[in-house]
């Protein structure tokens, strides 16, 4: 089980104040929130990690326990720490001279003989559903205490060795004692008063550790480059995943950043991860895209602008005819409904906006110039540079 550095997870120093921790957590939570990263497994995993780190570091008691034992977690885990399974604690106790809580151990003083009698101490932790939002490290170290407001109890049962006394009542005396409903936060104080000089064994009930099951394969992201025409019509691609080559279909309407999930295609077998195709649509020489809408420039002649007329417009669907009214101005936009990109969700299509560009004749000579001058004398046009 890996030790988790919660300070590093939140990007703060170990001496960070509660305000520093709160500020760092809020910043990361906004950045990694699933609503801002739909389908992003990496962001989802990081979001869970920062929530787990904040769960510990924002609670003074948990932070104190974490700071006290965090650096010794490897020894603590091998010594059968809280939530350890079976006789792991007893076996590990031999590594510390027969008592994992005795002299020389990094946990000395937490399980020393605080009362009369010998025997062994068994701690059982019962976690409510919901603790799977936290790592194995968190659940083992804190037994899921207060995690996600889940209800849980911690019970301690003490068995007294034969001949050490009889009767029941105080856990500090000889006999049998049972306490229930106490949070794990005071476990170490109870260990001081209720521990024995014998070996410690741990058992844990609740969901089995994830390591006992078959681990699901990792997801794989593959970036796919497309032209605007391919994004408009849909396309197919051959994608290499390990030693396999898959033919995948890309639906019409994808845009840069669209994610297409192929369940179980990132490997072989029933536990294979998912394959995510992330599309990247390249720029087009004619059309500019804005979501499902397209914009293009439409050149027209001076005569078409002055007198109007029917103008052919090339779209991604084919040619359509646009009626240009007399007096059409440079830069004027005309909407061609439904001539844009297919919508990836919801069906239908966006619109195409044709932006007018009036192309005037080149240099005039002779009779052309004379005719143009006569024409302009007949037209009364105010100075367009003067605001009215």
- 344 has pLDDT over 80: yes
Dist. CA 313–CA 321, nearest whole Å: 6
Dist. CA 58–CA 279, nearest whole Å: 40
Residue 96 lies inside a defined structural domain of this protein? yes
Co-location of 238 and 120 in the same domain: no
Phi-psi region of 79 (alpha: psi -120 to 50; beta: other; left: phi over 0): alpha
Co-location of 144 and 163 in the same domain: yes
Of 14-18, 214-218, 351-355, the poorest mean pLDDT is in 214-218
- 12 has pLDDT over 60: yes
- 160 has pLDDT over 60: no
Between β-strands 293-301 and 352-359, what pairing exists: parallel, antiparallel or unpaired?
A: parallel
- 32 has pLDDT over 70: yes
The 10s digit of each residue's pLDDT in 94-145 is 433 444 444 554 444 444 433 333 333 333 333 333 445 667 777 666 654 4
Rounded to 5 degrees, φ, ψ at 246 are -110, 140
Q: Does residue 357 contact residue 295 with C-beta atoms inside 8 Å?
A: no
Q: Does residue 113 contact residue 196 with C-beta atoms inside 8 Å?
A: yes
Q: What is the model's pLDDT at position 243?
A: 77
Co-location of 189 and 303 in the same domain: no
Co-location of 120 and 238 in the same domain: no
Residue 36 lies inside a defined structural domain of this protein? no
The 10s digit of each residue's pLDDT in 287-324 is 999 999 999 999 999 999 999 999 999 999 999 999 99
- Confidence band for 67, pLDDT divided at 50, 70 and 90: confident
Kindly state the percentage of the chain with pLDDT values over 70: 62
Kindly state the percentage of the chain with pLDDT values over 90: 38
Dist. CA 164–CA 304, nearest whole Å: 110
- Confidence band for 328, pLDDT divided at 50, 70 and 90: very high
Count the domains in the chain: 3
- Helix (H) or strand (E) run with residue 126 in it: strand 119-127
Co-location of 153 and 227 in the same domain: no
Higher-pLDDT residue of 191, 374 = 374
Q: What is the model's pLDDT at position 151?
A: 36
Interacting residues of 244 by C-beta distance below 8 A, sequence separation 6+: 268
Co-location of 137 and 208 in the same domain: yes
Q: pTM of the full predicted structure?
A: 0.44
The 10s digit of each residue's pLDDT in 263-286 is 888 877 788 889 999 999 999 999
Provide DSSP, 44-78: HHHHHHHHHHHHHHTSHHHHHHHHHHGGGHHHHHH
Residue 243 lies inside a defined structural domain of this protein? yes
Co-location of 276 and 369 in the same domain: no
Co-location of 193 and 96 in the same domain: yes
- 199 has pLDDT over 80: no
- Confidence band for 358, pLDDT divided at 50, 70 and 90: very high
Highest mean pLDDT among 24-28, 83-87, 165-169: 24-28
Around 107, how many Cα atoms within 13 Å sit in the side-chain half-sphere? 33
Co-location of 261 and 301 in the same domain: no
Within 10 A of 130 (CB to CB), how many other CB atoms are there? 14
- Among 190, 212, 234, identify where a domain stops: 212
Q: 341 is in which domain, residue-wise? A: 288-378
Residue 33 lies inside a defined structural domain of this protein? no
Three-state DSSP state, 362: coil
Q: What is the model's pLDDT at position 286?
A: 96
Average pLDDT taken over every residue of the chain: 73
- Confidence band for 20, pLDDT divided at 50, 70 and 90: very high
Q: What is the model's pLDDT at position 71?
A: 55
Co-location of 169 and 237 in the same domain: no
CATH number of the domain that residue 353 is part of: 2.60.260.20
Co-location of 349 and 364 in the same domain: yes
Residue 50 lies inside a defined structural domain of this protein? no
């Amino acid at each position: 089980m890996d030790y988790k550095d919660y300070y590093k997870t939140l990007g703060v120093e170990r001496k960070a104040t509660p305000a520093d921790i709160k500020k760092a957590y809020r910043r990361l939570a906004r950045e990694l929130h699933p609503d801002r990263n739909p389908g992003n497994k990496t962001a989802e995993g990081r979001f869970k990690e920062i929530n787990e780190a904040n769960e510990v570091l924002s609670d003074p008691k948990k932070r104190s326990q974490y700071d006290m034992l965090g650096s010794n977690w490897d020894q603590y885990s091998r010594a059968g720490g809280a939530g350890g399974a079976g006789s792991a604690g007893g076996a590990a106790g031999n590594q510390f001279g027969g008592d994992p809580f005795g002299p020389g151990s990094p946990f000395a003083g937490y399980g020393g003989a605080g009362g009369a009698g010998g025997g062994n101490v068994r701690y059982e932790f019962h976690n409510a559903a919901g603790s799977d939002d936290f790592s194995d490290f968190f659940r083992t170290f804190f037994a899921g205490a207060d995690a996600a407001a889940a209800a849980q109890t911690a019970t301690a049962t003490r068995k007294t060795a034969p001949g050490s006394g009889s009767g029941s009542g105080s856990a500090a005396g000889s006999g049998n004692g049972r306490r229930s409903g106490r949070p794990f936060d005071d476990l170490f104080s109870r260990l001081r008063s209720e521990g024995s000089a014998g070996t410690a064994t741990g058992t844990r009930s609740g969901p089995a550790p994830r390591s006992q099951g078959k681990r699901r394969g990792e997801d794989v992201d593959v970036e796919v480059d497309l032209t605007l025409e391919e994004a408009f019509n849909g396309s197919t691609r051959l994608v290499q995943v390990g030693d396999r080559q898959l033919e995948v279909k890309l639906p019409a309407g994808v845009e840069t950043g669209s994610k297409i999930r192929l369940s179980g295609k990132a490997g072989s077998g029933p536990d294979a991860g998912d394959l995510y195709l992330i599309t990247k649509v390249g720029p087009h020489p004619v059309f500019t895209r804005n979501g499902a809408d397209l914009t293009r420039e439409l050149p027209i002649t001076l005569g078409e602008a002055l007198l109007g007329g029917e103008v052919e417009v090339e779209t991604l669907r084919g040619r359509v005819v646009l009626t240009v009214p007399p007096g059409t101005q440079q830069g004027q936009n005309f909407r061609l409904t439904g001539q844009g990109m297919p919508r990836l969700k919801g069906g239908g299509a966006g619109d195409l906006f044709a932006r007018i560009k009036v192309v005037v004749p080149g240099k005039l000579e002779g009779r052309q110039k004379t005719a143009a001058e006569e024409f302009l004398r007949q037209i009364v046009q105010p100075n367009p540079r003067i605001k009215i």
